[in-house]
Amino acid sequence: MKILFRNKDINSIKADVQIVFLEKKPSIKKLVGENDLETLEESGFFKDATDTFYVSSSKKLYLKLKEFEAEEIKVAAAKACSALKNFNFKSAKIEGYSDVELFCRAFAEGAILGSYSFDWYKSEKKESQLKSIHIASLLGRKSGVSEKSINEALEAASLVAENVNFVRDIVNSAPDDATPMQVASIAEKIAKDGGFECKVYDEKFLKSEEMGAFLSVARASAHPPRLVHMSYKPKGGKQPTKKIALIGKGLTYDSGGLSLKPSDYMVTMKADKAGACAVIGIMKSISKLNLNVEVHGVLGLCENMIGGNAYKPDDILRAKNKKTIEIRNTDAEGRLVLADVLCYIQDYFKKAGQQFDYIIDMATLTGACVVALGEYTSGVFGHNEKLKKMILSAAEDAGDLMAPLPFNKHLRKLIKSEVADISNCSSSRYGGAITAAMFLDEFIYDENKQKWAHLDIAGPAYVEKAWDYNPHGASGAPVRTIVEFIKKCEGK
């Protein structure tokens, strides 16, 4: 579906249906013809009875808009698109008003994200007939905005939203259709299309790099692990304004391993690869947006399974930085994979004699984070307050929900081990998101502490109930936030 801006009066545009957003204001009468007003009043539309109402005589679909604000516009656009799925209209139009650029960006994002549905495995597919929506606004000479800048903003918003949907598709794929090798191939394809580099490493490499933690988690799976390193650099040898590393947890399935998950908790664990998939979507976005930054996307892809050769509680693993880890619970596997991948990228820069500015990992790391913040919000950790603020403000602008969570020196003792340098599982049932983040902190070198942020996306990555413009299943978080973050720091 295409969202297009038209610098025209809405009445001069032909479309099968008109979408009308109504703010609860006296101006309603101006927007709604007398006849429609009567129909809407009779239907109880204004008394919150329904969200959308279609008047067939005027071919108008009415929606309520609480206020002129980006998130509200996105939700209304999504509702309009899902209502229009039940009709056979091919084109629609809507009047763009107030801040037209903001309206276009938000409308496009909401419409594209709200039109998403995952039907790969359905025999009968219900395809929407709607192919285009025209946003009409006749720009006066004094409006202060140009058609060009509106079109650019609209295209960028559409591109990122399409990429969020692309990430949703990978996360929603069944675990046997998105194995480590298959996800690595997707990353390779995206890199090829985007004209940037992508290296895929197998177990031999992991062994040679002494990634004992990552390898142990992967051991019992029929699908071998992969470490993917994508690197995007500004085209034409331009000097990047920032160098950023993004790390994604890519557990293509998390059964819990020998500390097996109860069956109800195992369902949805195909989504334990959401961090890695988000990194692919971010790389895809920044390469298409041609941002003047250097970004390294590193994915730790494997499956946490059971079997005679599975790693086990009581094992002692040795991570890439030589730290030893006592395994007390094989279900706390994400932090083990991340430990080695975090060391890998820090060593990579060290060996190249290069500095980087930020290192951000994203991971469906703990159920405890979902308990702390609820299903819709990601937790943000880090030692650098300024960096955390930048991420939180990007999230606010992009529309992802995020909240800061603190480290706590008193919880450090909970991951102490009597037999190894550290334990992979807290000795307390409380504060699990924090102790997991503090475990990762053990693998961030002193010189990089201020550059690091950790996002626990266990809640919003996958929700089994549609909400706002998010469908049942994968949400594609935190792609929009990190793209926004990179855009913001590109200019600084």
Binding site residues, ligand BES, CB under 6 A: 254, 272, 329, 331-334, 364-368, 370, 425, 432, 458
Closest approach of Cβ 427 to ligand BES, in Å? 10
CA 288 to the chain's CA centroid: 17
Q: How far is the CB of 472 from ligand BES (least distance, A)?
A: 15
Q: Residue 470: count other Cβ atoms within 10 Å of its Cβ.
A: 21
Q: Which residue has the tokens 């980006």?
A: 70
Strand segments, DSSP code E, in 150-290 are 197-201, 226-232, 243-254
CA separation, residue 445 to residues 221, 269, 454 (Å): 31, 30, 14
Position among 254, 294, 400, 484 found at the interface with Zn ion (CB under 5 A): 254
What residues are annotated to the active site?
261, 335
Regarding 303 and contact with Zn ion (CB under 5 A), the answer is no
Rule CB under 5 A: is residue 456 a binding residue for Zn ion?
A: no
CA–CA distance, 374 with 378 (Å, rounded to integer): 9
Count, residues near Zn ion per rule CB under 5 A? 6
Q: Which is nearer to ligand BES, 3 or 479 (CB)?
A: 479
CB 299 within 8 A of CB 276: yes
329 binds, among ligand BES, Zn ion, none (CB under 5 to 8 A by kind): ligand BES
Closest contact distance (angstroms) between CB of 94 and Zn ion is 42
CB atoms within 10 A of CB 430: 11
**Is 248 a residue that touches Zn ion (CB under 5 A)?**
no
Query: Which of ligand BES, Zn ion, none is residue 432 near (CB under 5 to 8 Å by kind)?
Result: ligand BES
In this chain, which stretch among 166-174, 248-256, 281-289, 292-300 interacts with Zn ion, using CB under 5 A?
Answer: 248-256
Q: In whole angstroms, what is the distance from residue 62 CA to residue 236 CA?
A: 49
Nearest to 274 by CA among 174, 199, 369, 170: 170
Q: Does 432 bind Zn ion (CB under 5 A)?
A: no
CB 337 to Zn ion: min, Å: 9
Asked if 109 interacts with Zn ion (CB under 5 A), we say: no
Angle at which helices 274-289 and 479-490 pack, to 10 degrees? Answer: 40
Residue number, 272 or 441, with CB nearest to ligand BES: 272
* 281/449 Cα distance (integer angstroms): 26
- Minimum distance from residue 351 beta carbon to Zn ion (Å): 29
Site residues for Zn ion, 329-348, by CB under 5 A, read 331, 333-334
Residues that bind Zn ion (CB under 5 A): 251, 254, 272, 331, 333-334
